């Protein structure tokens, strides 16, 4: 199945939302069956000097735990498919497999679908809220210029991957970590596609930025 997209949607929504978001499209899933689950991978982690706490993973629906699943798709290995309706991100592996991660997505009205690529990625990123967000949330306005430095409370978490469109323009949307593990499986963020920090570290290690690092966002 071929997923057709309109990059115009990126332009319109990036200017309207100016920040991060998800949704809409056609399901890629033909058959999904778990072949391995990583429930034991959410313990405390020390990373670049930051002590990430353990996630009480037993309190999160098991379907949102990182796992390797059977996944039928025409997308090449290395492609990321984000299904915002199901709240899953798939990193495509060879031989009909994928690593599946639970995600949180943007609230209704902060959504997009289409194709992009990961132009670059950053560990422990600085967060710069867009001006439009600062207008809605004056308490973050001080971070627009200087940004919020990396740390355990930074909204981008331990890793961020930056999505650009086919013209090489920043879509202003990100795949990133979050300290708010309970938001996984919900539409609770004000935009970006968020993963648990332990999961985003794993995904980050697999991604090689460039135009071949394709991201498809569907519903």
The answer to whether position 208 is within a domain reads yes
The answer to whether position 121 is within a domain reads yes
Q: Name the more confident of 146 and 206.
A: 206
Q: Residue 50 is part of a domain; what is its CATH number?
A: 2.40.440.10
- Cα separation, 121 vs 203, whole angstroms: 11
The answer to whether position 194 is within a domain reads yes
- In this prediction, residue 90 has a pLDDT band, given cuts at 50, 70 and 90, of very high
Active site residues: 176, 192
Domain range enclosing 31: 7-218
Using the predicted structure, report yes or no on whether residue 33 has a pLDDT greater than 60: yes
Q: What is the mean pLDDT of the chain?
A: 83
Domain count, the chain: 1
Residues counted in the chain: 219
Query: Burial letters for 131-161: b for 16+ Cβ neighbours within 10 Å, e otherwise?
Result: eebbeeeeebeebeeeebebeeebbbbbbbb
The answer to whether position 2 is within a domain reads no
What pTM was estimated for this model as a whole?
0.82
Of the candidates 163, 153, 157, the one whose C-alpha atom is nearest the C-alpha of residue 176 is 157
The answer to whether position 39 is within a domain reads yes
The answer to whether position 1 is within a domain reads no
């Amino acid at each position: 199945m071929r997923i057709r997209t309109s990059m115009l949607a990126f332009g319109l929504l990036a200017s309207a939302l100016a920040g991060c978001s998800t949704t809409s499209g056609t399901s890629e899933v033909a058959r999904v069956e778990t072949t391995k689950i990583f429930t034991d991978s959410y313990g405390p982690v020390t990373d670049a000097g930051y002590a990430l706490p353990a996630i009480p993973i037993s309190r999160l629906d098991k379907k949102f735990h990182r796992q390797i699943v059977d996944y039928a798709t025409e997308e090449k290995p290395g492609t990321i498919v984000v299904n915002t309706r199901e709240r899953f991100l798939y990193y495509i592996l060879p031989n009909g497999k994928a690593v599946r991660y639970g995600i949180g997505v943007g609230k209704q009205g902060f959504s997009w679908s289409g194709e992009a690529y990961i132009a670059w990625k950053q560990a422990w990123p600085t967060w710069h809220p867009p001006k439009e967000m600062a207008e809605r949330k004056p308490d973050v306005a001080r971070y627009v210029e200087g940004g919020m430095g990396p740390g355990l409370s930074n909204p981008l978490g331990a890793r961020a991957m930056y999505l650009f469109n086919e013209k090489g323009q920043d879509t202003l949307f990100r795949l990133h970590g979050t300290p708010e593990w309970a938001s996984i499986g919900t539409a609770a963020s004000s935009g970006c596609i968020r993963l648990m920090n332990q999961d985003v570290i794993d995904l980050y290690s697999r991604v090689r930025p460039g135009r071949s690092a394709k991201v498809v966002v569907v519903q």
